[in-house]
Amino acid sequence: MGLDLISDVVDLTAAIVDMESVSGAEEALADAVEEALRALPHLMVERAGNSVVARTDLGRPERVVLAGHLDTVPLNGNLPSRVVGDRLYGCGTTDMKSGVAVALRLAATVPEPTRDLTYVFYDCEEIEAERNGLRRLAADRPELIAGDFAVLMEPTGGLIEGGCQGTLRAEVTATGERAHSARAWMGSNAIHTAGRILDVLRAYEPTRPVVDGLEYHEGLNAVFIGGGVAGNVIPDECVVTVNYRFAPDKSVEEAEAYVRGIFDGFQVTITDSAAAARPGLTHPAAAAFVAASGADVRAKLGWTDVARFAEIGVPAVNYGPGEPTLAHTKDEHVEIPLIAECEQRLRAWLEAPTTVAP
């Protein structure tokens, strides 16, 4: 089934939602997106796996990127889509097929934007990072997604969310000495010692750094705990896995040093990390977007693929219809008026005169 990119944006959203595209099975939707975009003479289209990139080449002084992922989490009895009042229900409505629909409709109906445009529709965002289509493009074909500024169509409830937090996971290990539980005094209980790790976490007061005018809210929490040998053995090891969400005023290295410092005296092993991204609002194209859209701006509390753009030197923000707290839920839905509002605001920006000298 083909996609009609000039149809009403809500109808287009429903059509995209009804094309099942759970992570790793996006081919049919990617085929439909590619076919629809190749029919537009003002765009150059390239396919990389199940990611599709379309670009204008109008010689504009700025290039901006609109990006969205095609995949969803597994279905939960929430297809086909359905309209109830002013809500569109269905898997992916919020995260993020309504945003994809907005970008596709703009690709079809804004043939001569005042900024050159790159549209990126990529696969495998909802699963392990190694398979992420945007990560693959950034590594293998960074020139395809390069630009002066990028908008990631993440659900934000119609607000602009600048940058994103970084995330780090660490295993903090308490050690002891094994003994028979009948003679516990002959050993040292690592699970009991781990209470000191939990004391640190309970006493932690989240910082709220202001970065480029936006306030972030850091977090340090235990997410797993493991220890024990047998029902009659005093354990000699207990591991608390900690997740640190840090603001973009820290690098990954600084975040690691902070975690090691706060758990001084314990063995700390960093198991996973991803860099934060600054808000990206200082570029003229970003300022013009904020002004033209009229949307409120806040910090992004969480990690998103804007960090992948930051890694290749492209400032980026999150902006899209849909309430993020509804993502991945059985009753996932998007407010229909927000889809139209998002399209109108982006269109106003893309058609507004620029102040950049040619």
3-state secondary structure of 230: coil
Q: 256 is written with which tokens?
A: 């690691």
**Taking the CB of residue 297, how many other CB atoms lie within 10 A of it?**
18
**Which of 286, 304, 303 lies closest to 295, judged by CA?**
286
Q: Which residues contact 280 (CB under 8 A, 6 or more apart)?
A: 149, 150, 162, 163, 286, 306, 310, 315, 316, 317
The residue whose two tokens read 């290295």 is 253
Q: The tokens 């607000």 sit on which residue?
A: 159
How many angstroms separate the CA atoms of 194 and 226, rounded?
A: 10
What does the block give as tokens for 232?
């009659």
Catalytic residue among 26, 34, 62, 71: 71
- Which of 34, 116, 123, 125 is catalytic? The answer is 125
**DSSP, res 232:** T
Kindly state the greatest CA–CA separation across the chain.
82
Query: Please, are residues 17 and 73 in contact by the beta-carbon 8 Å criterion?
Result: no
Is 71 in the active site? yes
Q: Is 148 within 8 Å of 314 (Cβ atoms)?
A: yes
CA–CA gap between residue 182 and residue 355 (Å, rounded)? 79
User: How would you class 334 by CB atoms within 10 Å of its CB: exposed for 0-12, middle for 13-18, buried for 19 or more?
Assistant: buried
- H/E element holding 213? none
**What region does 232 belong to: left with phi over 0, alpha with psi -120 to 50, or beta?**
alpha
Q: CA dihedral in degrees (238, 269, 163, 14; nearest 10)?
A: -60
Whether 112 is catalytic is no
CB 312 within 8 Å of CB 138:
yes
CA distance 356 to 300: 28
Q: Which residues are catalytic?
A: 71, 125
